[in-house]
Amino acid sequence: MYNFEFYNPTRIFFGKNKIEVIDKNIPATARVLITFGGGSAKRSGLIDKIRTILGDREVIEFGGIEPNPRYETLIKAVDVVRSEKIDYILAVGGGSVIDGTKFITLASNYNGDPSDLLKFGFRSISLDVVSKVVPFGTVLTLPATGSEMNDGAVISFEHGKFPVMCELAFPRFSVLDPTITFTLPKIQVANGIVDTFIHTVEQYITYPVDAKVQDRLAEGLLQTLIEIGETTVAEPENYDARANLVWSATMALNGIVGVGVPQDWTTHMIGHELTALFGIDHGQTLAIVYPALLEVRRDKKRTKLLQYADRVWHISGGSEDEKIELAILKTRSFFESLGIKTHLSDYGVTADKIDLIVEQLGEHGLTALSETGDLTLDISRAILVKAF
């Protein structure tokens, strides 16, 4: 196991009706900005309920944060935070609203051009660059990204999606009430399962470093998703299935699975380009790229793939190559069983667009991906060809 440091200050409130806790966790005198998306939280009555819980506090709303939140939208909220002297933000939504809120709070306290904050990539923005933020909490409405308990955000700007990380961007608290997610369309639930699955495997199917706890945590998450996946898509109000999805999603990307182990974020990096170019949902892009990536990288990932075949899918018969083949097939079938298509061509993308995708990866400096940095643009191209 590699050396590591672990820090996560987000307080979690999990369960039915936990939303009441926001009263005690936001100062009584705070001027609160509620950030939200395209309207689902309004239509469900969630925002009204939150306003009631906030009581006499001064509350301002900023809605319209779109999926794959755009810089131009978020900058408008930065103006509101500054002009209205906001001292607490409450993000009500999925990954896009929470990520957008992280960017809003960082940019509100940055003195230069806020687009500078998009240039750090996976390097954490230091306290010399942004030294304080407006504190924020979240009410999660979509289990998928883990943004409710991590310090990362992904922001859309011009023709790309840019990761932003900063330890000041951890939510102070997050409310995880599975019943709030009952109104999700089936496709978003399926996207969330795939996103959680891929976050887990990108920190697990690399090469072994004898990290037994992290491996078994990852295997537990994957087995949970396989066990509850179809049920929670088919039965949106099955509380137990949904509760297990919500906690899996948070656990998959709050840092715990990934400590002290190699990580391979290739699928996310290629997936971000597919969203930026063609508007394909984040979860769907991952279901397109990952099975193809495993096909192309099966030798590099051989030992962990065999462990995955054995411990996650319980494949015992056949040669090693056959076990790996079957594990890849089962992975693809799992995504398809949730209603998510796994080929680029299923989304109307034509083969001639592969050049453009590779070009964009190059433009964004994504030329040495994977757990060892050996994944060149030519290998990305091979993955995209397989994914077609």
CB nearer to Zn ion: give 199 or 297: 199
CB nearer to ligand NZQ: give 68 or 342: 68
Among ligand NZQ, Zn ion, none, what does residue 99 contact (CB within 5–8 Å per kind)?
Answer: ligand NZQ
Tell me, letter by letter, the H, E, C secondary structure of the chain.
CCCCCCCCCCEEEECCCHHHHHHHHCCCCCEEEEEECCCHHHHCCHHHHHHHHHCCCEEEEECCCCCCCEHHHHHHHHHHHHHCCCCEEEEEECHHHHHHHHHHHHHHCCCCCHHHHHHCCCCCCCCCCCCCCCCEEEEECCCCCCHHHCCEEEEEECCEEEEEECHHHCCCEEEECHHHHHHCCHHHHHHHHHHHHHHHHHCCCCCCCCCHHHHHHHHHHHHHHHHHHHHHHHCCCCHHHHHHHHHHHHHHCCCCCCCCCCCCCHHHHHHHHHHHHHCCCHHHHHHHHHHHHHHHCCCCCHHHHHHHHHHCCCCCCCCHHHHHHHHHHHHHHHHHHCCCCCCHHHHCCCHHHHHHHHHHHHHCCCCCECCCCCECHHHHHHHHHHHC
Among Zn ion, ligand NZQ, none, what does residue 41 contact (CB within 5–8 Å per kind)?
Answer: ligand NZQ
Minimum Å gap between C-beta 181 and ligand NZQ is 5
Among Zn ion, ligand NZQ, none, what does residue 39 contact (CB within 5–8 Å per kind)?
Answer: ligand NZQ
Q: Which residues bind ligand NZQ (CB under 6 A)?
A: 37-41, 67-68, 93-97, 99, 141-142, 144-147, 150, 152-154, 161, 180-181, 183-184, 188, 191, 195, 253, 268, 282
Q: Which residues bind Zn ion (CB under 5 A)?
A: 195
Minimum Å gap between C-beta 240 and ligand NZQ is 18
CB nearer to Zn ion: give 46 or 198: 198
Among ligand NZQ, Zn ion, none, what does residue 95 contact (CB within 5–8 Å per kind)?
Answer: ligand NZQ
CB nearer to Zn ion: give 108 or 203: 203
CB nearer to Zn ion: give 108 or 141: 141
- Give the residue at shortest CB distance from Zn ion: 195
Minimum Å gap between C-beta 35 and ligand NZQ is 11
Minimum Å gap between C-beta 317 and ligand NZQ is 35
CB nearer to ligand NZQ: give 153 or 361: 153
